C-alpha cells in the first residue's frame, strides 16, 4: 500500500494588543468593555505592588520564600475574566495571584501561605479553589478530577488550572491531559510559558517548537497567544470556556509570557539569564502595554495613575497588617480542621496533647504504680 498522511495539524497564535499598544480591531473590538479594561489594569497594578512588598517582607525576615508574579499578571487577569466566581474552579500553581483574588480569595491568604500559616490554605467555602501547589505539576491531576466530578454532576462549571512550561515535562501533566481528554472533562489547561523552568531554559527541557503542540497528542484543542496581552488571553479563554460549558471537553492555552523577577526570593536569576533578554521583556510588560491602550483612548492619565498608586499602597498595607496581625492558631485546630466527626481516640489526643498510649490514657503519666494501664 502507498504511504499516506494520516495526521496533520496547525496551531494558531493570537495577538490583539501588541507591545506598542497597536490594537487589532477585527479580533478585539467589544471583547472587553472599557470599564473592565480599567478595572483589570488596576488589579494588575495592585498585584504588582503586593509583589514588591512581599519581596521586602521576605528580605526583612517577616515572611518565607516568595515567588513573584511580576510580568505575568495579564495571563492571570485575562483568564479570570472569562470565569464565574463561586461556580467555576481555579486550581493554581503559585504565579497567578490576580486570578485568585478575582475569584474571591482574600488577598491576605497569599501572605499567610508564604508565612507558613496553614490558614492560608483553608480556602473559604464560597471560593472554588484549591490551595497553592508548590510541587511542580501535581495539581493538574486534581483539576482533571474536579472537572470529571462537575461532568458527573451535569453542571456547566469549568475548571482552570495554571502551570509553567517546566511542568509540562512532568509525568503528572501527561496523566492529567490524557485523563481529561479521554473523559472529556471541562478542564482548561492554562500554560504560562515564561521560558524558564527555574534555571533551566525551555530549549533544554523540551524539543518541541511550542508548548501548545503537546496537547495535540491527546486530541485536545490547543492554541498559543501573547500572554502579556489581556485581550488575546481572554479571546482564547472565552473559546475554551464556551467549549467546556457546552460539553466539548478540555482545552490547552499556551500564554507566552516572562517572569521579570527571580524564580523565587531564594533564586538569583542573574546567574543564568542574559540581561539583554530581561531588558527586551521589560518593554513587553503587560502593565505598560495596558496603560498605553487606556491612554490612547483617553481612559487614563497621570492623575489617575497617581491615585491608583496611593490606593495600591493603602490596600497592600491593610493586607500585610491583616496577615501579620492574625491571632496565633489554637493548637487543637489541626484536629478540628482534619475531621468532620472527630474519632474518640483522636479527640483524646487533642484534649491531652499527647500521642500513643499516653494520649489515650493520660492517667498513667508518672507511672505511680505497677497497676497502671500500659
* Residue-wise DSSP of 271-299: GTS-HHHHHHHHTT-HHHHHHHHHHHTTS
Task: For residue 149, count other CB atoms closer than 10 A to its CB.
Answer: 14
Contact 74, 233 (CB under 8 A): yes
Is 272 annotated in the active site? yes
153 noted as active-site residue: no
Please tell me the distance from the alpha carbon of residue 84 to that of residue 97, in angstroms, as a whole number.
16
- The angle formed by the CA atoms of residues 141, 145 and 151, to the nearest 5 degrees, is 145
Q: Of 59, 87, 272, 297, which is the active-site residue?
A: 272
- Among residues 259, 273, 284, 350, which one is catalytic? 259
Catalytic option among 263, 273, 289, 350: 263
With CA atoms as reference, report the closest residue to 241 among 88, 67, 46, 58.
88
Enumerate the β-bridge partners of residue 162: 190
Query: What three-state secondary structure class fits 247?
Result: coil
Q: Residue 212 and residue 165: Cα distance in Å, rounded?
A: 10
Angle, CA of 88, 93 and 98, to the nearest 5°: 65
Concerning whether 139 is annotated as a catalytic residue, the answer is: no
So which residues are the catalytic ones?
259, 263, 272
Amino acid at each position: 500500500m502507498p504511504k499516506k498522511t494520516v495526521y496533520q495539524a496547525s496551531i494558531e497564535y493570537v495577538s490583539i494588543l501588541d507591545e506598542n499598544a497597536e490594537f487589532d480591531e477585527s479580533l478585539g473590538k467589544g471583547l472587553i468593555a472599557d470599564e473592565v479594561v480599567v478595572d483589570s489594569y488596576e488589579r494588575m497594578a495592585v498585584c504588582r505592588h503586593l509583589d514588591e512588598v512581599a519581596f521586602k517582607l521576605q528580605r526583612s525576615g517577616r515572611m518565607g520564600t516568595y515567588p513573584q508574579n511580576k510580568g505575568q499578571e495579564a495571563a492571570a487577569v485575562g483568564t479570570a475574566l472569562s470565569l464565574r466566581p463561586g461556580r467555576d474552579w481555579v486550581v493554581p500553581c503559585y504565579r497567578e495571584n490576580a486570578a485568585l483574588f478575582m475569584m474571591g480569595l482574600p488577598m491576605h491568604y497569599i501572605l499567610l501561605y508564604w508565612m507558613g500559616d496553614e490558614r492560608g490554605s483553608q480556602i473559604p467555602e464560597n471560593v472554588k479553589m484549591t490551595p497553592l501547589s508548590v510541587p511542580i505539576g501535581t495539581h493538574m491531576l486534581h483539576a482533571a478530577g474536579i472537572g470529571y466530578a462537575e461532568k458527573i454532576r451535569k453542571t456547566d462549571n469549568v475548571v482552570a488550572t495554571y502551570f509553567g512550561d517546566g511542568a509540562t515535562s512532568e509525568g503528572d501533566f501527561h496523566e492529567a491531559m490524557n485523563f481529561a481528554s479521554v473523559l472529556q472533562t471541562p478542564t482548561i489547561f492554562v500554560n504560562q510559558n515564561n521560558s524558564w523552568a527555574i534555571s533551566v531554559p525551555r530549549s533544554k527541557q523540551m524539543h518541541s517548537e511550542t508548548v501548545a503542540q503537546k496537547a495535540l497528542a491527546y486530541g485536545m484543542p490547543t492554541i498559543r497567544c501573547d500572554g502579556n496581552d489581556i485581550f488575546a488571553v481572554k479571546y482564547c479563554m472565552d473559546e475554551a470556556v464556551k467549549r467546556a460549558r457546552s460539553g466539548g471537553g478540555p482545552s490547552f492555552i499556551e500564554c507566552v509570557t516572562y517572569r521579570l523577577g527571580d524564580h523565587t526570593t531564594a533564586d538569583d536569576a542573574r546567574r543564568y539569564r542574559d540581561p539583554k533578554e530581561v531588558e527586551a521583556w521589560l518593554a513587553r510588560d503587560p502593565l505598560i502595554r495596558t496603560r498605553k491602550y487606556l491612554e490612547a483612548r483617553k481612559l487614563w492619565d497621570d492623575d489617575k495613575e497617581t491615585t491608583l498608586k496611593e490606593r495600591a499602597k493603602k490596600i497592600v498595607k491593610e493586607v500585610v497588617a491583616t496577615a501579620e496581625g492574625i491571632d496565633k492558631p489554637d493548637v487543637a485546630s489541626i484536629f478540628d480542621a482534619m475531621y468532620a466527626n472527630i474519632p474518640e481516640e483522636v479527640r483524646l489526643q487533642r484534649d491531652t496533647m499527647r500521642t500513643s498510649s499516653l494520649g489515650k490514657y493520660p492517667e498513667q503519666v508518672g507511672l505511680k504504680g505497677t497497676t497502671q494501664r500500659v
